Amino acid sequence: MAGAMSPLRILLGQRASQSTAWRRSLWASSHHCGAAANGTSHQPVAARLHMPSPTTSSTNNTTTSSRSFSSCTPRPQSAFQHALKCNHQWAETTQANDPDFFPTCAQGQAPRILWLGCSDSRAPETTLLGLKPGDVFTHRNIANILSPTDLSLLSVVEFSVFHLKVQHIVVCGHTSCGGVAGSMANGKLGGPLDIWLQPMRALREKHAAELAKLDGAEKMNHMAKLNVAAGVDVLKRIPTVIDAIRDRGLEVHGVLYHLASGKLEEVECKEDEAVAKGREEAFERK
C-alpha cells in the first residue's frame, strides 16, 4: 500500500521494536533447550532443523529469531515433557535478560490489540507479529469464523473492548487453511465440523459466481479473504464495538497471513457509509 502507513502498521512497528531484546532471549532459550535435550551445546537449533539461523540487521545491529523456543527439535522423549523443559529454560532466560518482565505481567495487562484468528498451529499471533506476552488479547477457533451467536466470541469482545479498552481489533485468516478447504468441499466432514463451517459454506454460496472464476490456491485465498471480511462485518454489528468506534476511535482490521512468506496482507473490507450510519443509529444510546 502506497502513501502513509496505516495506524495498525505503525502500532505493530512500535511494538515489534520494543520486543527485540525479548525475542533475543527466545533464541537463546531455544538454542540451550535443544542442546540440552540431545547433550550438545555447540550446534544452533536452526542448523539441526536445516533452517536459517537468526539474522542480524545491518541498520540497527539487532538480532531476531527465526524460531521460537517451542520449536526446539522434538526428541524421543514425551513431547509434553520436552515442552516443559523448553518452558523452564525460556522462563529462566527471560528472567535473566529482563528481571522486571514477569513481575510486570503479574500486575495486570493492557494490550492494545484484540486478535481474532484461526487455531492453526502455524499462525501464532504473538510470534508472527514479533510481539510478546501482554501485547495481544487473543481468541482463536477453527477457520477464524465469527458468529454473532457465539457466546465465547462475544465474551472476548466485550471484555477486551469495554474493559481492556483495546485500540484495534484484527481479524486474521491465513493461506492453506483446512477450514477453508473443508468449506469448499462438497462432502460431509462429520461431527460438529459441518455445523461449525456452515457460515462459511453460506458465504461460498453467496459468492459462487466470483469464486467460479478462480482456481486452486487463488480460489482458496479469495475464500479466506471473504471470510475475514465477513468477520469484520459481524464485529461492526456488535453494540459494544459500535460504541467504541464512535466514542474513542476503535479500529477494526482484516488481514491474511501468508504461510509461505510469514507476512500479513491487509484485506480490504469495504463498507457502505449509509450502512455504517444505519448500524450506529440502530444502537444509539437513548
pLDDT band at residue 186 under the 50/70/90 scheme? confident
Residue tagged active-site, from 122, 201, 207, 222: 122
Is residue 269 marked as binding? no
Is residue 120 marked as binding? yes
Q: What is the mean pLDDT of the chain?
A: 82
Is residue 243 marked as binding? no
Domain assignment of residue 49, yes or no: no
Closest to 245 in 3D by CA, of 132, 143, 169: 169
Residue range 207-213: mean pLDDT, rounded = 98
Domain assignment of residue 152, yes or no: yes
Domain assignment of residue 233, yes or no: yes
Higher pLDDT, residue 57 or 113? 113
pLDDT band at residue 275 under the 50/70/90 scheme? low
pLDDT band at residue 187 under the 50/70/90 scheme? confident
Q: 247 catalytic, yes or no? A: no
Q: 86 catalytic, yes or no? A: no
Q: Give the global pTM.
A: 0.76
Domain assignment of residue 157, yes or no: yes
Instruction: Give the pLDDT score at 97.
Output: 97
Q: 83-112 burial by CB neighbour count: b if 16+ within 10 A, else e?
A: eebbeebbeebbeeeeeebeeeeeeeeebb
In whole angstroms, give the CA distance from residue 91 to residue 95: 6
Residue range 135-163: mean pLDDT, rounded = 98
The whole domain housing 214 covers: 110-283
Q: 122 catalytic, yes or no? A: yes
Residue tagged active-site, from 15, 120, 233, 279: 120
Residue tagged active-site, from 33, 72, 86, 177: 177
In whole angstroms, give the CA distance from residue 196 to residue 142: 8
Q: 177 catalytic, yes or no? A: yes
Residue tagged active-site, from 23, 31, 174, 253: 174
Domain assignment of residue 129, yes or no: yes
What is the number of structural domains in the chain?
A: 1
Domain assignment of residue 206, yes or no: yes
In whole angstroms, give the CA distance from residue 155 to residue 137: 12
Domain assignment of residue 150, yes or no: yes
Q: 179-194 burial by CB neighbour count: b if 16+ within 10 A, else e?
A: bbebbeeeeeeeeebe
pLDDT band at residue 17 under the 50/70/90 scheme? low
Q: How many CB atoms lie within 10 A of CB 119?
A: 12
CATH code for the domain in which residue 242 is found? 3.40.1050.10
Structure confidence by residue, pLDDT tens digits, 27-69? 444 444 544 444 443 333 222 223 333 333 333 333 334 344 4
Q: 42 catalytic, yes or no? A: no
Domain assignment of residue 32, yes or no: no
Closest to 266 in 3D by CA, of 278, 276, 258, 274: 258
Highest-confidence segment of 29-43, 75-89, 139-153, 266-280 = 139-153
Residue range 125-147: mean pLDDT, rounded = 98
Rounded to whole angstroms, what are the CA distances from 128 to 6, 172, 280? 18, 11, 34
Higher pLDDT, residue 142 or 279? 142
Is residue 174 marked as binding? yes
